[in-house]
Structure 1
Amino acid sequence: MSAAPLRIGLAGANAERGWAKDAHLGAINALPDLVVHAVSARTQDIADGAMAMFGAAKAYDDSLELTRDPDVDIVAVTVKVPEHRAIVLAAIAAGKHVYCEWPLGRDLAEAKEMADAARKAGVHVAIGLQGANSWAVRHAAQLVKDGVIGRPLSLRVVSPTGGWGAVSPPNYAYLQDKANGATLSTIAGGHTLAAIEAIIGSFTEVSARASILRDEMTLMGSNEVVKRTCADHLLTFGKHESGCISSLEVVGGVVDVPFQFELRGTNGTLSINGGHPGGYQVGPLTVTTTPESAAQLPATVSNVVQPSINVAEVWARFAKDIRSGSRTVPDFDRAVRLTRLLDAIDESSERGQVIAL
């Protein structure tokens, strides 16, 4: 007899909007080894509506209570970044496995605290870096490892996102405040930096310029203006442990420019292309090489559409890790390393210096 599906408690579920509805629900429904058992939201009415839509058995108006539900195997944290710490720590204390959206915390101290707690508890944890875990990025990394394009020499990346433009939905107003930890640099930048490191190796040094090109934005449906304290444009230049050099431009408020990843090696080139306005990590990606490679890395999950496509890859591998005891998905320690890189980028921009890592 096959094992019963792993039961998920979704913290931050909403029947009207949100990443849990838009991405996680489709991903989980595509995987027979997973089921949404419980949901939580900031009010009981919202939680009840999500329970009906998500097909859950229970609904909570308190995410901390959800973490203590004895029938929940995995807590998925999809709330705003400032709320991550309390829910993640409560879930770990309750012995639950945890899938937390990226960024893990508002700063390095929070990320380290959660990573340390997970390590000590021995639970399985996954950080929502679905772009770096996508079929395309893992396939590209394998092609580079196999020497298809020779030794990597230089990489150029352009990573656009429709966020951090002149206007924004009201529920994204908090993304404009750097203190909340959910910014263009950490979200669009962090997701892209994770893919870069997955393919050509860790940064050994970085220089950067983080700029605020529009210091105000308007909330859609109103004339309310919000002050922006985080960058809406990011440039980084790096050197990697592989010897490869890289440049990255993260552009906010842009929906008419595709994601471009162009890697040049001693024997050829590799490209990754995408076009989702929410950022490269949200939609499908294509990988091409010159010379062409016959090697193929199969996707873990089929018949999943955007924006669930890459999230489904994380969930499938995470469930397998929990069942088998393996640890293949990006975890909280990976989140800590990426947070340190982002801190180095901030330091470089503020000081105008190259920062060694």
Structure 2
Amino acid sequence: MSVKPLRVGIIGADTKASWAGASHVPALQSLPGLALAAVATRHEESARAAAQAFAAARWYADPYALIRDDTIDIVTVAVKVPAHRDLVLAALAAGKAVYCEAPLGVNVAEAEEMAAAAGSLHTAIGLQGRLNPAVRRAAELVGAGRLGAVLSATVRATTVAFGPTSLSAYDYFNKAASGASFLTITTAHVLDIVEAVLGNITEVDARTQCIWPEVLLADTGERSVRDIPDHVDLIAATARGACVGVQVLAGVERNPHFVLEVRGSAGWLRLTGDHLAGVQVGDLALSASVDFTMPDARVASGVGPTAADFWRGAAINVGEVYASLARDLSQGRHDTPGFAHALHNSRLIAAVERAARTGERQGQLG
């Protein structure tokens, strides 16, 4: 007896440089238990083009019409952060399972509202790095005590984004009001992987800088003011007792890297990655001084049909989120990090911001 695949509708699946087109579409194409059933944008022309390019059966120029479609099982919200709240709340009110890109809201208050509205519905948040197979295996090694007592950890992470130049279409990332910034995206993904391996962060000291307060918009020649940090150094304590030093650098075009090294009384492990966009994009590799079973095989790969080759690997971790959400829906479980987890991440980043602003250590992060 064949089982019908879960039908996904993506809001924000544009053919022009969209994250959904680069990651969500190829992830779904790799997973036999899910199918891209519909796409929605704000305009008929772009919605039609997306449906044709991504082989979706239906298209909508009104995202709320997609939400009202009774045939859709999972609504994916992959639009600019200020638009998340209304779309997510509408999808939850319609009883849908919802996968929303991170950050969930423009601030903690919005994240609290959406997390409360989710209730018992299935949700997933786009903090996909923690579900990478290598990260899961590293967490297992630490959790099983294979490294002994965890003594310390260090993280070095880079992204090509938030540097001295940008395109005008992406200038909103340089504005705090957008909710989509170096801290809420790049740093949030890095810290989420730290927590996946070492347990929740319980205290944090931080220093932020804005190295490039003026940004050249390369396509127009105009200059824009950046009102967010583009560099962070922090020290955190985690639930496993480890002290973690973290540095996240923006605007790195050469030798991109992510390195998380954990030292224990009985051994060490190291997670590494090298995608220009940051740790959440692309695969990670695990090495250790102790024997371990190789990480599980990736469930998704490839690049979207309209995406630049720069985004190769973006489907890997997004595919893990979809696979986890599909298991939860079929088994009646709630293992996939969802909106409650998104709220925790939002509160953590707010604590980093307070620590940097006040110069005082932040605890009781919630």
TM-score normalised per structure 2: 0.94
Distance (whole Å) between structure 1 residues aligned to residue 8 and residue 275 of structure 2: 28
Select the residue among 141, 144, 154 that pairs with 1:146. Answer: 144
Seen in structure 2, the aligned counterparts of structure 1 residues 224 and 302 have a Cα distance that, compared at 3 Å, is closer
Instruction: Note if 1:191 corresponds to 2:189.
Output: yes
3-state SS, counterpart of residue 132 of structure 1: helix
Mapping for residues 1-357 of structure 1, pairs under 5 Å: 1-119=1-119, 122-256=120-254, 257-291=256-290, 293-299=291-297, 301=299, 304=302, 306-357=313-364
Contact kept, 8 Å, 1:208 with 1:345, in 2: the verdict is yes
Query: For residue 347 of structure 2, what is the amino acid of its counterpart?
Result: R
The structural deviation recorded for 1:254 is 0.6
Contact kept, 8 Å, 2:39 with 2:50, in 1: the verdict is yes
Deviations, residues 155-178 of structure 1 (Å, cap 9, x unaligned): 110110000001112221110001
Q: Which segment drifts farther, 338-347 or 56-65?
A: 56-65
Deviations, residues 320-352 of structure 1 (Å, cap 9, x unaligned): 111111111111000111111111111111100
Contact kept, 8 Å, 1:137 with 1:195, in 2: the verdict is yes
Distance (whole Å) between structure 2 residues aligned to residue 12 and residue 322 of structure 1: 23
Q: Where has structure 1 moved over 3 Å in runs of 4 or more?
A: 302-305
Distance (whole Å) between structure 2 residues aligned to residue 300 and residue 163 of structure 1: 26
3-state SS, counterpart of residue 131 of structure 2: coil
Deviations, residues 242-297 of structure 1 (Å, cap 9, x unaligned): 11000111111013231111111111111001000000110111000013x13234
Contact kept, 8 Å, 1:272 with 1:285, in 2: the verdict is yes
Deviations, residues 19-52 of structure 1 (Å, cap 9, x unaligned): 1110111100000111111111121100000010
Higher RCO (C-alpha under 8 Å, 6+ residues apart): 2
Distance (whole Å) between structure 1 residues aligned to residue 54 and residue 212 of structure 2: 38
TM-score normalised per structure 1: 0.97
Query: For residue 333 of structure 2, what is the amino acid of its counterpart?
Result: S
Distance (whole Å) between structure 1 residues aligned to residue 298 and residue 275 of structure 2: 21
Q: Structure 1 stretches of 5 or more lacking a match? A: none
Contact kept, 8 Å, 1:238 with 1:246, in 2: the verdict is yes
3-state SS, counterpart of residue 171 of structure 2: helix
The structural deviation recorded for 1:2 is 2.1
Contact kept, 8 Å, 1:149 with 1:266, in 2: the verdict is yes
Deviations, residues 45-71 of structure 1 (Å, cap 9, x unaligned): 000000101111211112122111111
Q: CA RMSD in A?
A: 1.2
The structural deviation recorded for 1:226 is 1.3
Query: For residue 174 of structure 1, what is the amino acid of its counterpart?
Result: Y
Seen in structure 2, the aligned counterparts of structure 1 residues 92 and 302 have a Cα distance that, compared at 3 Å, is closer
Q: Identity over aligned residues, as a percent?
A: 40
Deviations, residues 131-172 of structure 1 (Å, cap 9, x unaligned): 111111111100111222111111110110000001112221
Q: Structure 2 stretches of 5 or more lacking a match? A: 303-311
Contact kept, 8 Å, 2:31 with 2:300, in 1: the verdict is no
The structural deviation recorded for 1:300 is 5.3
Query: For residue 182 of structure 1, what is the amino acid of its counterpart?
Result: A
3-state SS, counterpart of residue 181 of structure 2: coil
